Chain A
Amino acid sequence: MPLIMPDLKPVMPEIVMTVIAIGMLLAELVIKRKETIGFLTIIGAGIAAFTLAGSMGTTFGGMYVSDGYSTFFKLIFLVNLILTILMSSRYLETLKINFGEYYSLILFATLGMMLMASAADIIVLYLGLELMALSTYILAGFIRYDIKSNEAAMKYLLLGAFASAILLYGTSMIYGLTGTTNLRDIAVYIAKAELASNPVLMLSMIFFAVAFSFKIAAVPFHMWAPDAYEGAPTPITAFMSVGPKAAGFAVLGRVFLTAFGSVRMDWAAIFIPIAILTMAVGNIVALSQTNIKRMLAYSSIAHAGYMLLGVIAGTPDGLASMLNYMFIYAFMNIGAFAIIIMLRTETFKGEDIADYQGLSKTHPMAAALMLIFMFSLTGIPPMAGFMGKFYLFMSAINAGYTWLVIVAVLFSAISAYFYLRIVMLMYMKEPKETVQLNSSPGVALALVVTVGAVLFIGILPSKFLLFARLAASAF
Chain B
Amino acid sequence: MITPINFENSIIILFAVTMFYVAMSSRMEAYVKMLAAQGALLFAVSLHSISPSDYITFSFIIFETLVLKTIVIPLYLMKIIRQNEIQREAKPSIPNLYSLMIVSAITAVGFVFAYWLAGTHQPVNPLFFGGAISVILSALFIIMTRKKLITHIIAFIFLENGIFLLSLSVAQEMPFIVNLGVMLDIFAWVLLAGIFVKMIQSSFTGQNIDALKGLRD
Q: Do these two chains really belong together in a complex?
A: no
Residues of B within 8 A of A (CB): none
